[in-house]
Amino acid sequence: MNYETIEVGNLSYLPDVQAIIAQGSSGDALADGDTPVIVGEYRVAPWGEDNKLPSLVMEKIGKGDAVGSNIDHNIKMMYGQGVKPFMKITEGREIFYDECTDERVLKFYEENDIQGYFLEQCADMVPFYNSFPEIILTKDLSEIYSLQHKEAVFSRWGVADKNTGNITKHFYSSEWAEGKAGPDNTVVSDVLNRINPLADLRNRIAKRQLVTPRFILQTYFPTPGRLYYQRPSWYSIFHSGSYDYSGMIWQFKKALMKNGLKTRYIIYVSDKYWDLIFTEEKIDRSNPEKVKARKEAEFEKFRKFLSDEENAGKGMMVMKKLIPSGTSAIEEKYIVIEKVEPGVKGGEFLEDSTEVNNTINYAMNVFPGLIGPIPGKSSGSMSGTDKRELFHIKIAMQAAYRDRLLRPLYLVKAYNKFPDNLVWKVVDFEFTTLDKNKSGKQQTTTTEKPKEETK
């Protein structure tokens, strides 16, 4: 017997058994691509299976409450108070950092809006682990006069040289997401060697091996096994289903309030489950009628299982897959059936919401106490001391990212022959106790006390 299926957003509702079916997996959309994109005479390495991964990630960030807030938080923590030039002063075994007074350095700093440049670099490094700085030289090639930020969403690498394995070309276009990038709307730039960009730059200039006096630098936080585009560890929330589950909770609650649906079960079905069925039965996904009919047939199985009294207390055999994540693995289940307790009116899945947001925060290296209470039940308050220590721990965790992001500035220093004792440093707030400072915070200074010792 066939029953009506009600579509509510991305959910399907089976009224006869009072079950909601949630489908989809964000991880599938972030698969790697291996077929080069042709732009004129060049071969471009695709970023994602359809070369749209950066745009898809930004779209998902915009739709995820916790994810969007976490990305904003991590960008601000990486930025601190921005990057500033200092002069390193050594007195015996003590080292101090004083304000930079070199006119050439200050001129470069102001004319290139280095603070704005650094913020944009952070805004790409956090969601993508990649950023794309560009240096531009003067006409006589004697100095680097400009350091610019190139948007990661619009950037792609050329296919690496077969002999050296080096990436030599960068392609910049706003049309990648639309699949319309071509020779007429794409800027092609040379790329400096990622290991020793300074030596490569000097060698090219000495041999006059340059078409235009500008180059792209490779700046990234490395992830094993990736040559072109790095894969942030927090993408595990898409592959594990945490991101989808978080969104489904609100879709489910909205459906309850808007349609007055009575629900006893919620069934989560991964897209990979349908892929397996469609592949085995040779069903064309582009045929909406066949896809809908096959899904309805599967829904009938769920109806029978949930409505048959003989199945009470029995289990249902499902498939699952282990997905590598760091040093461990995340379990992805193809089908999950959860029973909804009767009599709830508005408080559904509060504990689930708290759990999934905690999982997302953990994956994104965010301490919830620093940005406010997480959605769901209160997780308790923290003392000022706890928050202060978490803040300092979070700052310490930025060192590796900041080190990568400051490399272009040190290239400028070396090529422009700025003072040897010039250092670029990211300035942070140091929170203290109210008995020492009424505001509770103080800016890290460079001359109050020694910050390090020579050995």
Of 277 and 224, the one with more pLDDT: 224
Nearest 5 degrees, angle CA 261-CA 265-CA 266? 90
Query: How confident is the model over 103-118, as pLDDT tens digits?
Result: 999 999 999 999 999 9
- Is residue 207 classed exposed, middle or buried when 0-12, 13-18 and 19+ CB atoms within 10 A define those classes? exposed
What is the overall mean pLDDT for the chain?
81
Query: How confident is the model over 423-444, as pLDDT tens digits?
Result: 999 999 887 665 555 555 555 5
Residue 247 CA to residue 72 CA, distance in Å, equals: 19
pTM: 0.77
Report, in this order, helix, strand and coil percent for the chain, each rounded to 5.
40, 20, 40
User: Alpha-carbon torsion 267, 268, 271, 272, what sign?
Assistant: negative
Tokens of 193: 């060697």
Tokens of 70: 């976490």
Query: How confident is the model over 327-360, as pLDDT tens digits?
Result: 555 555 677 776 766 554 555 566 667 778 888 9
One-letter identity of residue 63: K
Element of type H or E holding 21: strand 19-23
User: Alpha-carbon torsion 285, 289, 294, 295, what sign?
Assistant: positive
User: 3-state secondary structure string, 222-267?
Assistant: CCCCCCCCCCCHHHHHHHHCHHHHHHHHHHHHHHHHHHCCCCCEEE
**Residue 167 predicted with pLDDT over 50:** yes
> What is the pLDDT averaged over residues 31-43?
91
DSSP 340: P
Query: How confident is the model over 116-142, as pLDDT tens digits?
Result: 999 999 999 999 999 999 999 999 999
What is the pLDDT confidence band of residue 172, given thresholds at 50, 70 and 90? very high
Query: How confident is the model over 307-332, as pLDDT tens digits?
Result: 764 454 444 444 555 445 445 555 55
One-letter identity of residue 452: E
